[in-house]
Amino acid sequence: MNFLSKYRTKIGSMLLRSKLKSRNRELRAIGLNKAQSLGIVFDASDKKNHRLIKECLKSFPNTLSVNAIGYYPNSKMDNDYISDKSWYFFSSKECDFFFQPDSKYIEEFCNQKFDILLVIDTYYHFPIEWISSMSLAGFKAGKSGKYDKLLDFMIDVKENSVERLLHELTHYLGNLNC
């Protein structure tokens, strides 16, 4: 990340912190077996991540309502990423100068009170942090590291793999008896 990008991200973080002061979220710990709605925010830069998440969702109950947002860090998205009513993809082109997502769909997603929000990002992307922070989800889970301040449940995954992260999250959230 070059100097200008770091500066823009830093200002974006300050703007995010000021917006968060007016957001009230009710923390509710809940396991996957009792959840009725699930939000997913993920790094869509690797097509494999999208495939792995779709495969993982097949193991969840059909009664679980799922909405997912994939962030593609380049300005030009591949044609493989097609949004529909439950999957939305956006690129850096849909972010403002300070990397804050600027989309009506993302605003609606953040205002949905999901039972669980999964943050599936093994690296770090500010737009994913922004969405995850602004989300009113009752319980937020993801990889330990850059997103620790906004997560309620963190998994420390030694290998930097989305597949391993998904496996660990589904295992522990599936066993969570809340």
Q: Which helix (H) or strand (E) holds 142?
A: strand 140-143
Query: Residue 11, class by beta-carbon neighbours within 10 Å (0-12 exposed, 13-18 middle, 19+ buried)?
Result: middle
114-147 pLDDT, tens digit each:
999 999 999 899 999 999 999 999 999 999 999 9
What is the pLDDT at residue 178? Answer: 63
Summarize the confidence of residues 160-172 as an average pLDDT. Answer: 93
Summarize the confidence of residues 88-116 as an average pLDDT. Answer: 94
Summarize the confidence of residues 140-162 as an average pLDDT. Answer: 93
- Determine the Cα–Cα distance for residues 114 and 54; give it in Å rounded to an integer: 18
Residue 58 has pLDDT above 90, yes or no: no
Residue 85 has pLDDT above 90, yes or no: no
Summarize the confidence of residues 16-25 as an average pLDDT. Answer: 93
Summarize the confidence of residues 149-161 as an average pLDDT. Answer: 92
Average pLDDT, the chain: 91
Question: Tell me, what DSSP letter sits at residue 118?
Answer: E
With CA atoms as reference, report the closest residue to 50 among 37, 63, 41: 41
How many domains does the structure of the chain reveal? 1
| Range(s) of the domain holding residue 20 | 3-175
User: Any idea what the CATH number is for the domain that residue 121 is in?
Assistant: 3.40.50
Confidence category of residue 82, pLDDT binned at 50, 70, 90: confident
